[in-house]
């Protein structure tokens, strides 16, 4: 049959990225636990795609340490390794430090409003004991300066290492989440006032207030 020339083809890069994000998020939120075997056929059926984008996604997840693959045998969700998390945390903190330093005093009113709204949702989720919603709001808040800066190199690094930190953070959130609301409020005010030094220092402190010393694969 003739192929219609006016209909655009499926954007395979978007499909690959969507599959990658779905699998990454399922690991980060604990849908897939450490040690769980990931079978490309079952994952493809779950997502309604072929095995190819699933295999490509698993390879990408391996580069950030979220899965471990044995060629020709199996792919499993990696254990939460405290050293790997600390290493990733150092990188993530540095990227947010740079982003905040560059955008302080230059955020739009809409950007500031998004951060305030995210922090209020963060506090509401904390009071309700909803860790998933609190972490989603926290991620949204910290993502505003990064998006406003528009530095794709920083965004790419965070996309690679951020999930490693977020997965461990979910396991340990109760230990530090209660103190974050006030720090967020302080950060927002410093961003608005234009104090880049203090804003970036507060950002650094927020990220390094996380402690993963006793995180284990069993959590």
* CATH number of the 12-77 domain: 1.10.10.10
Contact (Cβ atoms closer than 8 angstroms) between residue 30 and residue 170: yes
Residue 79's nearest CA partner among 60, 65, 90 is 65
Residue 158 pLDDT grade (very low, low, confident, very high; cuts 50, 70, 90)? very high
Q: Does domain 82-208 have CATH number 1.20.120.530?
A: yes
Which tokens go with 40?
A: 């490309």
* Crossing angle of the two packed helices 12-28 and 152-172, in degrees rounded to 10: 30
User: Where do runs of H (alpha helix) occur along the chain?
Assistant: 12-28, 40-47, 51-63, 82-103, 109-128, 131-149, 152-172, 180-193, 196-208
pLDDT in tens, 163-215: 999 998 886 665 556 678 999 999 999 999 999 999 999 999 999 887 665 45
Find all residues with CB under 8 Å of 54, minimum gap 6, and list them: 19, 23, 40, 43, 44, 47
Contact (Cβ atoms closer than 8 angstroms) between residue 44 and residue 50: yes
> By mean pLDDT, which of 6-15, 107-116, 148-157, 180-189 is the weakest?
6-15
> By mean pLDDT, which of 1-10, 65-74, 169-178, 202-211 is the weakest?
1-10
Residue with tokens 């860790």: 131
Q: Where are the domains of the chain?
A: 12-77, 82-208
pLDDT in tens, 12-37: 555 888 999 999 999 998 899 999 99
How much is the pTM?
A: 0.83
What burial class does residue 175 get, using C-beta atoms within 10 Å of its C-beta: 0-12 exposed, 13-18 middle, 19+ buried?
Answer: middle
Contact (Cβ atoms closer than 8 angstroms) between residue 87 and residue 97: no
């Amino acid at each position: 049959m003739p192929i219609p020339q006016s209909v655009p083809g499926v954007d395979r890069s978007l499909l690959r990225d969507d599959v990658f994000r779905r699998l990454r998020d399922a690991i980060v939120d604990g849908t897939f636990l450490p040690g769980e075997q990931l079978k490309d056929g079952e994952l493809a059926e779950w997502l309604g795609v072929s095995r190819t984008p699933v295999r490509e996604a698993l390879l990408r997840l391996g580069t950030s340490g979220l899965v471990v693959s044995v060629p020709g045998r199996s792919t499993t969700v990696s254990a939460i390794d405290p050293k790997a998390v600390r290493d990733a945390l150092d990188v993530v903190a540095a990227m947010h430090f740079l982003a905040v330093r560059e955008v302080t005093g230059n955020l739009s009113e809409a950007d500031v409003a998004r951060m305030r709204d995210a922090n209020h949702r963060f506090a509401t989720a904390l009071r309700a004991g909803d860790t998933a919603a609190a972490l989603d709001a926290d991620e949204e808040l910290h993502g505003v300066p990064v998006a406003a800066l528009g530095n794709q190199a920083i965004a790419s690094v965070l996309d690679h290492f951020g999930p490693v930190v977020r997965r461990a953070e979910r396991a340990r959130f109760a230990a530090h989440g209660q103190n974050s609301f006030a720090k967020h409020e302080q950060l927002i005010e410093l961003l608005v006032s234009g104090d880049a030094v203090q804003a970036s220092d507060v950002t650094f402190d927020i990220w390094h207030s996380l402690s993963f010393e006793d995180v284990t694969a069993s959590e």
